[in-house]
Amino acid sequence: MKLIVFDLDDTLYSATSGVFARMDKKINAFVMRELGLAPDAADRLRRDYWRRYGTTLRGLMLHHGVDPERFLQEVHDVRPHELLGPDPELDAALAAIPARKVVHTNAIREHAERVLAALGVRHHFAAIYDIRFDAYRPKPNARALARILRQEGAKPHETLVVDDQPANLAAAARLGCRTVLVSAHKGHWRMRIPRVHLLPAWLERVHAQFGFAWA
């Protein structure tokens, strides 16, 4: 195992932190204002785009000609440091894993930098691949992930993808990567840990069971 590709939002911090809820509100506000929709119509539309394309932004770009940077700057203006604090347990968990670690997020780099700084874990990540990396094409499209592996010089079977969205893991698994879901809820994916902090213990267990080793 050479490379670990971590999702950011709701993976490296808890889905109950309120950070994503703030983004959710901002996305709804943007859609309502730009398209002149009532709250429930806006919410329906963005959920539909999210299901079809992976992000609301992709639908807004394809169907409404929205400027991606205007959208991205606005919806990521959520001040994560107000909701997230240093996480020494996560810091120790990441330090315990001797593989190259990168972030791959449907958000923008600035947001990722703010979140990682708030958690106090920025120094663990060798690179941040954001939504701009593949011309705003979001996960679960695996094109960006394939490019990341090429750039990192890692083969799929040497790569572990850690994400809170089963659809993203399904795309990574089709590429041949190893995958683990971070979710408090049971039954969404064959490999699951309730919190990312448990990754070192999970890796040891998997290693003992299936015998894959670190490069």
Q: Which residues bind Mg ion (CB under 5 A)?
A: 7, 9-11, 164
When the beta carbons of 8 and 209 are compared against Mg ion, the nearer one is 8
88 cis-preceded (ω within 30 degrees of 0): no
Q: Give the burial class of 141: count Cβ atoms within 10 A of its Cβ; 0-12 exposed, 13-18 middle, 19 or more buried.
A: middle
| Shortest spacing between CB 165 and Mg ion, in angstroms | 6
Residue 44 CB neighbour total at 10 angstroms = 13
When the beta carbons of 10 and 158 are compared against Mg ion, the nearer one is 10
Structural contact between residues 57 and 66, judged by C-beta atoms closer than 8 angstroms: yes
Q: How far from the centroid of its chain's Cα atoms is residue 116's Cα?
A: 12
Please name which of 60, 59, 75 lies closest in space to residue 22, comparing C-alpha atoms: 75
When the beta carbons of 37 and 127 are compared against Mg ion, the nearer one is 127
When the beta carbons of 140 and 156 are compared against Mg ion, the nearer one is 140
When the beta carbons of 31 and 196 are compared against Mg ion, the nearer one is 196
Please name which of 60, 80, 82 lies closest in space to residue 69, comparing C-alpha atoms: 60
Q: How many residues would you count in the chain?
A: 215
